[in-house]
Structure 1
Amino acid sequence: MESKCLKFFGQQKKPLLFVGIFVFLVNFLLLAENYSSYLSIVLPKNSNQHVYYFGQRHFVNKSEKQILLWTRYFYDVDWESNVRRALSASCPHRCSVTTDKTAITGADAVLFHLLDLYFWETPPKYRAPHQVWVLHNAEPPPHQYYTGRTLAYSPFVFNWTFSYRQDSTIVAPYGHAFRKSKKALQQKFPLKDFAKEKSKMTYGVISNCVDDAGRFSYVKSLRKYTPIDLYGRCGNLSCPRDGSCDAILKPYRFGIAFENSNCKSYTSEKFWKALQRESIPLVNWVPEQIPPDAPPKSYINVREFEMEALAKHLKNIAENDTEYNSYFEWKKMYDARDGFFFDFCKLCKALHNESIPAQMVNFESWLSDDVCDHWTISSIFTRRIKNYFA
């Protein structure tokens, strides 16, 4: 048997060698093709750590700008209709959107979704001088799994970044709070009794039980001190992913809005949806994560309490209607909404803005500049081990 195995592998040695050489050459050619145009670049002095600015921008004045969605969105989600809807919803600037790759010659912006930059889906061969290549990202570093993107995309291939981070070219958070108009402020309406509508204590919706932030482990411990109804794959209750879920969760006084990662500027729709349900969000934010437009006294950060003290604090608020309603005083001055795609209107506005300088971003160094851990194969196992022993 051993001699047969040796004979078999001896026969396969040359074909395997040729396959290895072929794979190496393909990767080398991809790298060479995408890096070659950047080797001669002299980086300007008026630049920051990740973004490099240039004096001349090839701006084309057009009444309507065209956005080409080059990649998919989380591989199979149709995002063309969502982008088109956002651009047509009271957006003061005119932009069209397409996924037709033959429109590359006329596109003003080419949009790439980070987690769909697979090495076999290479960038366009054509690039007009006025074209802006935009990197779009909605996931924090612990969930930015590797797609082989560095094999096909140079670190300097993109001009703009478009994400939830506050240091993006186009800042697109998962939600917004904004001051009411003067007309709305002049209309004096008394705040309703929010406590009157609440009959349950705290809800949580968690489906990823082994995330980077350890949400499920924390909630399991917190349940020893205060009642929590847990929905999703990590709990024993279900909440449909449609409008009916809001009706199920609305009677709760508090809503767990823990993020799966504690990263720079990362605040997902969980916080904004809790505000819309008129529940007090319980958050697990680090300082770099706090949204700049979070309404004052609208949430409770669990990091400011020991667990048992937190449970007592929640009990005191729940039993005092005046104190509970004080967490909604912000509604006199502010409105809040969730919705990631609304900010495509910002992208459209930027395309019409001639004053934005020509620039390129080292997207790999920009992504790595964060306060949280990054995705690795070992991190997947580490999370599962932590969850097992929690």
Structure 2
Amino acid sequence: MPTYRLFSHQAMAAMALLIALWLLISHLLSSSRVWGTGMWSLSGAFQPSSKLTVLIWHWPFNKSLPLDGDVCAHYGVVNCWLSTNHSLLSQANVVVFHHQELQNGAVRLPLAHRPLRQPWVWTNLESPSNTQGLSRYRNIFNWVMTYRRDSDIFVPYGKLMPRHGPAPPVPAKNRMAAWVISNYQRTQKRVVVYNQLSKHLQVDVFGRANRKPLCPDCLLPTLAPYRFYLAFENSQHRDYITEKLWRNALGAGVVPVVLGPPRSTYEAFLPADSFVHVDDFSSAQELATFLKSMNASRYQRFFVWRERLAVHLYDDWRERFCNICARYPHLSQNQIYRDLEAWFKS
């Protein structure tokens, strides 16, 4: 083969290789979740010991919980040890940080002492509307633990589980609708919808915003006599469904009227006929008419799911942290969030 033809073939092969590399790099840079990027990317096989240690760098909202005994075994997770001892930083398999304390400056990341290849978990249960300061955390966290279903560690506010034994009776109803709210802002969609709805429907309002706070033990008994509960989220975001649905409504035996993500999202968690969605109605007046015209047999159909399912509330941070161990074997050891803010606000 002439020398110039051999050189031509080699040049074409080199060009093809350069193009392929350029496309791969472009794909990685365009993603907010990048594999093997940054100082703290995890490379190679990370072999944990038989028991995983999850270091809780700080308790969410500064509300500490006891960690005596095999805490995670209580939640069905074996070989998982939770600790808050900072001296274990160099030995921990995973370290978890709650965003609220990072956001308000109460806690700082121990970046200067971070062991190589140690996964760090960012956790947050607030919506993007109530989360600030994420731009400071580029190329730091390997896994995220949130209410979003596409999180590495998915921690919803609640879920339905198979029921064992007979369902408790639905509480007797003699009142129409209730709402509990502490943070009342006129520009919020939930406040706008409430103001429209209350013109056509009697809604009893509790909470600090109405100077009628309910103690923790008073909440469910107070709501149980109502037919409907306004499970209105403070902001509308992907998968953002909070205790307003799980505890205040379903936990109290009340039909939730929901305002949050689309109906399809709620149906991923609940039977389609177990709730009323604001978006199903063209106006607040139409919604009010529907709620007021509900007969007894139609109302009881909202509770058919209770015969086979029960509500499980995720209200203990220890259970959430134990879930890190349960997910650990299934998570990529080469992952880092290049742009955490872009991912969370997507």
Paired with 2:200 and 2:68, the residues of 1 have a C-alpha distance of 44
Name segments (4+ residues, structure 1) moved above 6 Å. 82-86
Residue 206 of structure 2: aligned partner = 231
- Say which SS state the counterpart of residue 82 (structure 2) adopts: strand
Identity %: 26
Q: 2:48 aligns with which of 40, 44, 61?
A: 61
Residue 77 of structure 1: aligned partner = 63
Residue 381 of structure 1: aligned partner = none
1:309 deviates by 1.2
Instruction: Give the AA of the match of 2:285.
Output: E
Mapped pair 1:290 → 2:266: yes
1:82 deviates by 8.0
1:150 deviates by 4.3
What is the correspondence of 1:1-390 to structure 2 with a 5 Å cutoff? Answer: 49-54=31-36, 56-74=43-61, 76-78=62-64, 80-81=65-66, 87-118=72-103, 121-146=108-133, 150-151=135-136, 153=137, 155-180=138-163, 184=164, 194=170, 197-210=172-185, 213-240=188-215, 242-273=216-247, 274-287=249-262, 289-290=265-266, 292-305=268-281, 306-317=283-294, 320-340=295-315, 341=317, 342-351=319-328, 353=329, 356-362=332-338, 363-369=340-346
Deviations 1:45-97 (A, max 9, x none): 679832223494442232221111224523x333x548999624232322222
Paired with 2:68 and 2:139, the residues of 1 have a C-alpha distance of 26
Query: Is the 8 Å Cα contact of residues 152 and 331 (structure 2) preserved in structure 1?
Result: no
Query: Is the 8 Å Cα contact of residues 67 and 83 (structure 2) preserved in structure 1?
Result: no
- Structure-2-length-normalised TM-score: 0.80
1:156 deviates by 1.1
Paired with 1:300 and 1:48, the residues of 2 have a C-alpha distance of 39
1:338 deviates by 1.7
Instruction: Give the AA of the match of 1:202.
Output: A
Paired with 1:83 and 1:252, the residues of 2 have a C-alpha distance of 40
Query: Is the 8 Å Cα contact of residues 45 and 333 (structure 2) preserved in structure 1?
Result: no
Instruction: Give the AA of the match of 1:68.
Output: L
1:144 deviates by 0.7
Say if 1:296 and 1:77 are closer, same or farther in 2 by CA, change over 3 A. Answer: same
Say if 1:85 and 1:312 are closer, same or farther in 2 by CA, change over 3 A. Answer: farther
1:159 deviates by 0.6
1:177 deviates by 1.5
- Structure-1-length-normalised TM-score: 0.71
- Say which SS state the counterpart of residue 257 (structure 1) adopts: strand
Deviations 1:78-127 (A, max 9, x none): 3x548999624232322222222221011111111122225672433233
Query: Is the 8 Å Cα contact of residues 220 and 251 (structure 2) preserved in structure 1?
Result: no
- Say which SS state the counterpart of residue 343 (structure 1) adopts: helix
Deviations 1:239-288 (A, max 9, x none): 11x12221111111111110001001100011011112110001013327
Q: Which gives a bigger RCO, structure 1 or 2 (Cα 8 Å, sep 6+)?
A: 2
Paired with 1:170 and 1:62, the residues of 2 have a C-alpha distance of 20
Paired with 1:208 and 1:307, the residues of 2 have a C-alpha distance of 22
Paired with 1:272 and 1:109, the residues of 2 have a C-alpha distance of 29
Query: Is the 8 Å Cα contact of residues 267 and 291 (structure 1) preserved in structure 2?
Result: no
Instruction: Give the AA of the match of 2:142.
Output: N
Instruction: Give the AA of the match of 1:219.
Output: Y
Residue 382 of structure 1: aligned partner = none
Query: Is the 8 Å Cα contact of residues 64 and 95 (structure 1) preserved in structure 2?
Result: yes
Paired with 1:259 and 1:227, the residues of 2 have a C-alpha distance of 20
Instruction: Give unmatched runs, 5+ long, in structure 1.
Output: 1-41, 370-390
Say if 1:86 and 1:285 are closer, same or farther in 2 by CA, change over 3 A. Answer: farther
Residue 18 of structure 1: aligned partner = none
Say if 1:291 and 1:130 are closer, same or farther in 2 by CA, change over 3 A. Answer: farther
